Amino acid sequence: MGKLDKEKEEIGWIKFWIGVSVASIMGLISWFVNNYESANELMLFLDIISVLLIAVFIVILNKIGLEKIKELEDI
């Protein structure tokens, strides 16, 4: 497998994990909206922390993906 193909595959994996992360955030936010009156405070706190951590993960993955796309220009 050539370097170009390897870089494209890595970008594909990054896109996959960004998609999974976005779907996870959407699920966590919808759970929060549906349960904020009945859930205990710890569960709500953990839900918010999870959303924030996944959002940071998305930002990091996005930065890595953009760097890899810029590397494709040099190949």
**Structural domain count of the chain:** 1
Structural domain boundaries, residue 70 = 3-74
The confidence score (pLDDT) of residue 17 equals 97
Nearest residue to 45 via CA among 57, 56, 35, 55? 35
pLDDT tens by residue, 14-66: 999 999 999 999 999 999 999 999 999 999 999 999 999 999 999 999 999 99
Per-residue pLDDT band at 2 (split at 50, 70, 90): confident
- Sign (positive/negative) of CA torsion 18, 23, 29, 35? negative
